Amino acid sequence: MESGSGSCAAPEACCGPAKGSSGRFEDADERLAAVFRALAHPARLAILRQLADHPASCCGDVVKASPFAQSTVSQHLQALKEAGLVTCVIKGRCCHYSVDPDGLRLADGLARSFFDVLTPSADPALQG
């Protein structure tokens, strides 16, 4: 295949496993990537702040406090839920969303561990 053609004969060889597979990546890396994907949208950050200030909010409450349509808020809440950052408790016909403190602690620990590996040590012998 020509260089620069925009496609790859064996994408798994250079790009890793297909979406949703857990091929060669560590579970912690898969989980952290899911959290980062969920946090990568500013609307989701705003929704998380809203839920932190108003736990057990139904989707309609979040919609009223945001400039987003109900369908958009629902999609963002689902992404946050799938990433383990919010919980949903069904009461009657309404799902009440809250920030998941266990999910946040896990995400925080994973992120700290990841960034600790990337941060150079403060070893005085290395500071010339």
- What integer best gives the mean pLDDT of the chain? 84
User: Quick one: pLDDT at residue 14?
Assistant: 45
Task: Give the neighbor-by-neighbor strand order of the sheet with 86-91.
Answer: 57-58, 94-99, 86-91
pLDDT of 123 above 70: no
User: Quick one: pLDDT at residue 18?
Assistant: 45
Domains, the chain: 26-114 (1.10.10.10)
Q: How much is the average pLDDT of 14-35?
A: 74
pLDDT of 19 above 70: no
pLDDT in tens, 106-119: 999 999 999 999 98
Token pair 């890396």: residue: 29
- Lowest mean pLDDT: which of 14-23, 66-75, 94-103? 14-23
Q: How much is the average pLDDT of 94-111?
A: 96
The structure's pTM equals 0.74
Radius of gyration of the chain (CA): 19
Amino acid at site 47: I
Greater confidence (124 vs 52) lies with 52
